[in-house]
Amino acid sequence: MTPMPCPTSSRRRQVLLALSALGTLAPTGLLAQSLMGTSAKPIRLVVPYAAGGPIDVTARWLAERVRDTLGTVVVDNRPGAGGNLGVDLVAKAAADGHTIGISAVATHAINPWLFNRMPFDAARDFAPITQILRVPNVLVMNAQTAERLNIRSLQDLITYARAHPGQLNYGSGGNGSAGHLAGEMFKKAAGIFAVHIPYNGGNPAQLALLSGQVDFNIDNLATAAPNIRAGKLKALAVTTGKRSSVLPDVPAMAELLPGLEIDTWWGLIAPAGTPPELVQRLHQAFATALNDPQTRSRFAQLMAEPVVNSPAAFGEFMASERAKYEKVVKASGARVD
């Protein structure tokens, strides 16, 4: 007589089979559940700047592209204090993979030296995931000013500035802003003096340049490109180490001033202590999205170049950027109380 199977043993076998199946199931929203807990809790992506800007646009694009892999990713805009407010939320969040954020040249390279008090430690409070992109900066002049002063190249600008010390000025989005510090780096490398005029934000600085109130700015290419194409601004040089594919006829500053390289960049971070396996899975998902041809095409419209690097490499890059800007910020004397 064949013995009857034990109900308890049968139930145990079913449970084991189900658990085994889960081990091979990681395609969609279940991936986030299996990696980051048993609930379908969405991932919060904190953007420390206002909605509508380039950083916000790229974050929302990527949030959609990783949905099939990581589940729902909700973009949470938390602007304030030069980006410090939103980044601090990430630093103090639970290290469970459900909160990630954007790091940028301001929050992780400039602000640590600019602000007298920082709510987080840029070097220790985060787990790097990957860089997202870089946007070349470009030195632009008011086109009419450039024509009036007979300045057609970066060398012409330097020659004029040396012959007329203090007669040129440049604008920026404020003391300690990326544009201000880029201007200081350019002045030092070129051996010139130009008067810095700070404005309350990048848009007022650009309007001042367009109206002829200032002679030149160093702005990110995404912001300046429409007016360059319209002939209102004259591009003299991009600040990257090599020419931009977007403006191949515009020389790189490093061609005339070797070693001068200034990028606007941002990337992804998680709270320190996030398990390495979660960081790696987040990295894989976003790296796949960044390498997608649709993403590259979309970012090219923003004059941006996607950058994928390992968590370790991104951490090393941010550390090198902090070291670079420490010298520049201290030399500029800019401080925020």
pLDDT tens across the length of the chain (337 residues): 444 445 444 455 554 444 444 343 343 344 445 555 434 789 999 999 999 988 999 999 999 999 999 999 999 999 999 999 999 999 999 999 999 999 999 999 999 999 999 999 999 999 999 999 998 899 999 999 999 999 999 999 999 999 999 999 999 999 999 899 999 999 999 999 999 999 998 889 999 999 999 999 999 888 898 899 999 999 999 998 888 877 889 999 999 999 888 888 999 999 999 999 999 999 999 999 999 999 999 998 888 889 999 999 999 999 999 999 999 999 888 888 7
Tell me, what amino acid is at 38? T
- Rounded to 5°, the CA angle 192-193-199 comes to 130
- Is residue 62 domain-shared with residue 115, that is, in the same domain? yes
* Residue where a domain stops, chosen among 256, 276, 297: 256
Within 10 A of 275 (CB to CB), how many other CB atoms are there? 15
Domain harbouring 41, CATH code: 3.40.190.150
Co-location of 42 and 63 in the same domain: yes
- The pLDDT assigned to 337 comes to 76
Domain hosting 292: range is 29-135+264-332
Q: What is the pLDDT of residue 242?
A: 87
- Counted domains in the chain: 2
In CATH, what number is assigned to the domain containing residue 203? 3.40.190.10
165's tokens: 């010390």
Domain boundary among 190, 222, 256: 256
In a domain, 5, yes or no: no
Whether 50 and 129 map to the same domain: the answer is: yes
> Helix crossing, 221-229 with 202-210: angle to 10°?
20
Q: Do the domain assignments include residue 11? A: no
Tell whether 19 is covered by a domain.
no
Please indicate, yes or no, whether residues 92 and 45 belong to a single structural domain of this protein. Answer: yes
Do 205 and 183 lie in one domain? The reply is yes
Kindly report the pTM of this predicted structure. Answer: 0.82
Residues 64, 95, single domain; the answer is yes
Final residue of a domain: which of 233, 256, 279?
Answer: 256
Same-domain status, 233 and 272 = no
Let me know if residue 65 belongs to a domain: yes
In a domain, 6, yes or no: no
Do residue 174 and residue 251 come from a single domain?
A: yes
Q: Which two tokens stand for residue 151?
A: 């300045």
> CB within 8 A of 255, min separation 6: which ones?
237
User: Is 240 contained in some domain?
Assistant: yes
**287 shares its domain with 216:** no
The residue written with tokens 């949030």 in the block is 63
Q: Does one domain contain both 140 and 227?
A: yes
**Is residue 7 situated within a structural domain?**
no
- 98 and 44 within one domain: yes
What is the DSSP pairing of strand 305-306 with strand 73-77? unpaired
pLDDT value for 263: 85
Count CA within 13 A, CB hemisphere, residue 43: 36
Same domain, 173 and 250: yes
Note the pLDDT of residue 79: 95
Q: Is residue 64 domain-resident?
A: yes
